[in-house]
């Protein structure tokens, strides 16, 4: 499987500003979230990146990518017709090749020397099929994520054969349709925000687009649910953590995660301890 290209979706009306936010990365250098995400893709061997953006965002997004601007291709989503529609706009860019897909409002912290996107790409190459990264997630977080039903691949502790996909299921739906044998109670395999997808996904998106009314949003989840019935499609439990920027305190927690995994870890920990001690002393004085 030749994986040279990545597609990053960033046209969502409520998420457009998130990739432009500035963080201090693990190397102690200030970078935008978009730059960190692009470097995640490059670490996996990607050479070119297609950014799906809203009209008018080209200039700020190009500026936010820093030294990686030469790798970029931009496609504008003129009409907000959903996540699947946004991804389908990269069909000409990806052509007949498999591609890496990341979303623009998540940052990733690997627990190993190999970054999260690289883990997914390596497994997709080894298995020669589509692979989506997943993370065991508590059921109260189901409203934020697509979720898979799957069975563990024999002799593989981190790899699952996907049998079903639902978008943001309710706990009762998940309990009925998405139970994964061996996963602890109350947890489900939710998407991580990193996928290696085959050309069949673009074909299915295009087919769905023909039949959808223009005012309806085109879903990627429904296509992934169909994909697992037509070709081998795996879920990889990545050695790492995703940090959703689009939730309460998401930006703060993502920055803390980067700092605690980086070169300035000791200084950050010392500052946190000092802050907590100051708060504790202040609480004692008010009693």
Homologous superfamily in CATH for domain 5-285 = Spore Coat Polysaccharide Biosynthesis Protein SpsA; Chain A (3.90.550.10)
Q: Go through the chain and tell me how many residues it has.
A: 287
User: Each residue of 54-67: pLDDT tens digit?
Assistant: 999 999 999 999 89
Determine which of 8-17, 116-125, 156-165 has the lowest per-residue pLDDT on average: 8-17
pLDDT in tens, 28-47: 999 999 999 999 999 999 99
Across the range 47-76, mean pLDDT stands at 94
pLDDT at residue 280, as a whole number: 81
Mean pLDDT for 133-150 is 94
The predicted structure's pLDDT at residue 102: 97
Q: How confident is the model at residue 15 (pLDDT cuts 50, 70, 90)?
A: confident
CA 90 to chain centre: 17
Confidence of residue 2 (pLDDT cuts 50, 70, 90): confident
Q: DSSP label at 264?
A: T
Question: Which are the contacts of 287, defined by CB distance < 8 A and separation ≥ 6?
Answer: none
Q: Give the pLDDT confidence score for residue 213 in this predicted structure.
A: 57
Q: pTM (2 decimals)?
A: 0.92
Distance between CA atoms of 70 and 38, rounded to whole angstroms?
12
> What confidence score (pLDDT) does residue 216 get?
64
Quickly count helices (H) and strands (E) in the chain. Answer: 10, 13
């Amino acid at each position: 499987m030749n994986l040279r290209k990545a597609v990053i979706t960033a046209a969502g009306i409520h998420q457009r500003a998130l990739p432009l936010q500035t963080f201090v990365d693990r190397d102690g250098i200030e970078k935008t979230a978009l730059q960190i995400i692009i470097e995640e893709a490059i670490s996996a061997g990607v050479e070119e990146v297609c950014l799906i953006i809203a009209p008018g965002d080209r200039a700020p997004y190009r500026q936010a990518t820093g030294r990686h601007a030469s790798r970029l291709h931009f496609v504008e989503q003129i009409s907000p017709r959903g996540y699947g529609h946004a991804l389908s706009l990269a069909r000409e860019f990806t052509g007949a090749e498999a591609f890496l897909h990341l979303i623009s409002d998540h940052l990733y912290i690997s627990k190993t020397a190999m970054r999260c996107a690289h883990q997914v790409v390596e497994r997709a190459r080894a298995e020669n099929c589509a692979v989506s990264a997943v993370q065991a997630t508590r059921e109260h977080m189901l409203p934020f994520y697509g979720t898979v039903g799957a069975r563990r691949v024999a002799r593989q502790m981190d790899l699952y054969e996907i049998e079903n996909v639902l978008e943001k299921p309710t706990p009762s739906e998940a309990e009925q349709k998405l139970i994964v044998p061996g996963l602890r109670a109350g947890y489900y395999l939710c998407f991580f925000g990193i996928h290696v997808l085959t050309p069949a996904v673009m074909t299915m998106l295009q087919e769905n687009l023909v039949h959808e009314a223009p005012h309806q949003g085109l879903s990627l989840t429904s296509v992934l649910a169909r994909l697992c019935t037509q070709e081998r499609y795996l879920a990889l439990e990545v050695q790492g953590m995703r940090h959703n920027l689009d939730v309460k305190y998401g930006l703060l927690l993502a920055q803390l995660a980067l700092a605690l995994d980086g070169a300035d870890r000791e200084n950050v920990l010392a500052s946190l301890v000092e802050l907590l001690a100051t708060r504790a002393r202040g609480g004692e004085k008010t009693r």
